[in-house]
Amino acid sequence: MARVGVNGVELYCETAGDGDPLVLVHGSWGDHNNWTPVLGALAERFRVLVYDRRGHSLSERPPGQGNRTEDEDDLAALMETLGYAPAYVAANSFGASTALGLAARRPELFRGLIAHEPPLLGIVADVPELQPLMTDAAKKIESVIAHLRAGETLAGAREFVEEVALGPGMWERLPDPVRETFLRNAPTFADEQSDPNWAGLDLDRLAGYTGPALLSKGTESPPWFATIVSRLSAALPQARTHTFEGAGHIPHVTHPDDYVDLVTGFVEGAARRSP
């Protein structure tokens, strides 16, 4: 439990377990606690690193507009500073976008990559059947951002949970610590959305990552995630895909046993195939 200075920012991190190195990268609005449902089981097999991305919870929040490349550089520096490079990296949502972006730039840092539903909407912007759905989602996000920019953090967080992420009535059903985390990290979500390149990825460059990759999606998630996963899979030479039945955007929270089995099986398979 420490704050480590990397890439000009202090990041909070925790480590647990022994074995192959595994780094877990959380999504927007959250922090390292999002991995609590799977951390104990994964630490029985791996040397696990969890951390708060910049601007989230216990990590430093630098002033000024940020960008996803900074998150990628943070991840690289943290892995190298703490002796986790190369590592298996499992990431969710915006954290998955971050991990994929880093894999495209620094493939030597990865033993393998597991990415669940990165919101890389830019790589499917040309798909006509997705346009009405993505336009509607963009309007809802714009409303959330408007609340946050106006200082209406509670209204923005509630709207995101109920209109974008989890469904009507879900804000009140969340545990108090989870609601507090949403409120604490709301400004960083607004910052992420203001990065003009947050939703894009150079697929040609990503193809330079030739290591093992597993891309996953949930049956209960918006349909664009399936298309995103398909396009990423086509770009990655060693990619395979997995669908979590009955799950949505956070299977490590809603289906922790299935998630642990998936990660463990992926690593074991990658180890058997390595020279």
pLDDT digits over 128-167, tens only? Answer: 999 999 999 999 999 999 999 999 999 999 999 999 888 8
Average pLDDT over residues 60-74: 95
Q: Angle at the Cα of 61 (from 58 to 64), degrees rounded to 5?
A: 170
- Residue 70's alpha-carbon distances to 24, 64, 75, 246, in angstroms, are 17, 12, 9, 34
- CA dist 231 and 95 (Å) reads 18
Average pLDDT over residues 234-249: 96
Q: Which of 52, 54, 3 is nearest to 30 (CA)?
A: 52
Q: Convert the pLDDT of each residue in 169-186 to its tens digit.
A: 989 988 899 999 999 999
Specify the pLDDT at position 149: 95
**Given a cut of 80, is residue 275 above it in pLDDT?**
no
Q: Convert the pLDDT of each residue in 199-237 to its tens digit.
A: 999 999 999 999 999 999 999 999 999 999 999 999 999
Specify the pLDDT at position 181: 96
Q: What percent of the chain has pLDDT over 90?
A: 91
Q: Chain-wide mean pLDDT for the chain?
A: 95
Q: Which of 227, 229, 250 is nearest to 240 (CA)?
A: 229
List all residues 6 or more positions away from 247 whose beta carbon is below 8 Å from its beta carbon.
218, 219, 220, 221, 254, 255, 258
CATH number of the domain at 2-125+197-273, please? Answer: 3.40.50.1820
Q: How confident is the model at residue 274 (pLDDT cuts 50, 70, 90)?
A: low
Q: Convert the pLDDT of each residue in 97-115 to its tens digit.
A: 999 999 999 999 999 999 9
Q: Which of 270, 223, 272, 250 is nearest to 86 (CA)?
A: 270
Q: Which of 130, 3, 140, 174 is nearest to 78 (CA)?
A: 3
As annotated, the residues of the chain forming the CATH 3.40.50.1820 domain(s) are: 2-125+197-273
21 with 49: CB under 8 angstroms? yes
- The model's pTM: 0.96
Q: Convert the pLDDT of each residue in 156-170 to its tens digit.
A: 999 999 998 888 898
